Structure 1
Amino acid sequence: MANVAVYNMEGKEVGSLELNDAVFGVEVNEHLVHMAVLQQLANNRQGTQKAKTRSEVRGGGRKPWRQKGTGHARQGSTRAPQWTHGGVVFAPVPRDYSFKLNKKEKRAALKSVLTSRVNESKFIVVDELKLDSIKTKNFVQVLNNLKVEKALVVLNDMDTNVIKSASNVPTVKTAQTNELNVFDVLKYDTVVVTKDAVKAIEEVYA
C-alpha cells in the first residue's frame, strides 16, 4: 500500500496516510481512460445541429427557365445546392452522440487516473479543509501554502464556505466524492483531497 503525506491548511506535513491499493494502486488502463473521457464528452454534446436539404427548403418548385434555347445551363429548381438560398448537400441533422460504458469500466477508469495522480505525486491529502467565512483570498492562501495552482478539490461533505470561495478561482474546481469523474481528474494538474474524502472514495471503489 502506498503512503502519502498529510498536510494541514498551512502546508505543513502533519502525518501520513496509507492508501488502499484496490483504488490507488491498480494497473493503469489507458484505453479505458480514453473511452471514459470520450463518453463523458460525447454525452455532454447537445447534438442539435440542423440544416435543410433541397427537399426541405421552401420554394423552388417551378423550373426557373426552359430546358433549351436560353444559353443558360439547365436548371430544375432554385433550391438546388448550387443556388444561393438552396439546400445543403448531406445536411447535418439532430442526433444523439451519447454511448454507454459499463459501470465496471467506469470504475476501473477512475481508479486508473487516481493511481496515476498518486504515482505522479499530484495527489495531495489535507487533514481538513474548512473556512470560517466565504473569502476567496483565504482559499487562495491555502492553495499557495500547498504549492498548488490548477487543482481539483475533492470534499466528502458539502462545505458552502469552501465551495463558494473556490468558485471565484478559475483554475480550481470543487467536487464531492460522489461527483468524481475521469475527465476532471485529468483536466486539473493536482488532486487535493481531504482525509475524510479519501476514506469515502475507498469505501465506494475498493
Structure 2
Amino acid sequence: MTNKEKINYKILSEEGTNKNSTTIELNISQSNNMYVIHRALIKQLNNKRYGNANCKTRSDVRGGGKKPWKQKGTGKARAGSTRSPLWKGGGVIFGPKTKKYTQKINKKEQKLALRNLLYNKEKSTNIVENFSIQSEKPSTKDIIKKIHSLKILLTNKILIIVAKKDPKIYLSVRNIQNIEIIAANQINLLSIIRSKKIIIEKQALDIITRTYNG
C-alpha cells in the first residue's frame, strides 16, 4: 500500500539562507520501504555487469576440417580434427561463455524505490531556484564558489539534479571529484545513495514529481 507523504523543502538563496519553501507530495510505501529500494539497487548493479569471459569450443576454433590421418592402419589413436580439445590449438572443454546478468523490475516498483529514497534523503536535500554560473565560459572556480555559497562542503559527495543538462555547467563540474550532475529524468538509485548532499533545481523538482510520482 502506498500513501502520500508531504515533503517541505527549503529553497536556498545564493547566500545559503532559506529564502522560502516548496512542498511536494510523494506516493511512498512505508511497509516495504527498504525492500523495494534493495530490489531496484540490485537490478541496477547487475545491469552494469559485463560477462565478457569467453572461451572458444572446438566448433568456434578456426580450421580442423580435414581429418589428420586415416582412421585405421597407422597405429595411432583415432583423430577426426586438429581442433579437438585434446590437441594443442584446439578448443576448450567447458570454458566460460559470455553471460548476461541483466535483471528486470516493474516500472512502478522502480519509481516507488526512487520516491522512497528521495523521501529518506529529505534532510540532506537542498533546493535552489536555478543552478547556473555568471561566467559565459565553463568555470570550475565559479562552481566551487557557488557550492560554498550554499554552505555545502566539497569534501561531501554532492549530487546536483538539474532540469536539463547545460554543457557549460557539465564542463565546469567534471573536474571536481566529489560532484556528479544528472538530469531530472535520468536520476538513479546508486547516485542518490552515494551522495551525502543533494542539490535540486526547483524546475527539476517539478519534473521529478511528474515523472516518478505515477
Q: What TM-score bracket applies, with the shorter chain setting the length?
A: 0.7 to 0.9
What letter matches 1:102 in structure 2? Answer: N
2:35 counterpart of 1:31:
yes
Deviation per residue, 1:13-43 (Å, 9 max, x gap): 2111112133xx6526212211211111211
2:128 counterpart of 1:126:
yes
% identical equivalent positions: 27
Of 86-95 and 39-48, more deviation after overlay is shown by: 86-95
- Given that 1:51 and 1:88 are in contact with CA atoms closer than 8 Å, whether structure 2 keeps it comes out as yes
| Structure 1 residue matching 2:121: 3-state secondary structure | helix
Alpha-carbon separation, structure 2, partners of 1:179 and 1:21 = 18
2:146 counterpart of 1:142:
yes
Gaps of 5+ in 1: 59-80
Alpha-carbon separation, structure 2, partners of 1:86 and 1:97 = 29
Alpha-carbon separation, structure 2, partners of 1:184 and 1:117 = 12
| Matched residues, number | 195
**TM-score between both structures, scaled by the size of structure 2:** 0.74
Tell me the equivalent position of 1:172.
179
Spell out the pairing of 1:151-170 with structure 2 (5 A cutoff).
151-170=158-177
Higher strand share: 2
Deviation at 1:56, TM superposition (A): 7.9
What letter matches 2:26 in structure 1? Answer: D
| Structure 1 residue matching 2:161: 3-state secondary structure | strand
Tell me the equivalent position of 2:73.
none
- 1:15 pairs, out of 15, 20, 24, with 20
Gaps of 5+ in 2: 1-5, 63-84
- 1:116 pairs, out of 120, 123, 138, with 120
Summarize the Cα distance change of 1:89–1:117 in structure 2 as closer, same or farther, 3 Å threshold: farther
**TM-score between both structures, scaled by the size of structure 1:** 0.77
| Structure 1 residue matching 2:98: 3-state secondary structure | coil
CA RMSD of aligned residues (A): 3.0
- Given that 2:125 and 2:200 are in contact with CA atoms closer than 8 Å, whether structure 1 keeps it comes out as yes
| Structure 1 residue matching 2:134: 3-state secondary structure | coil
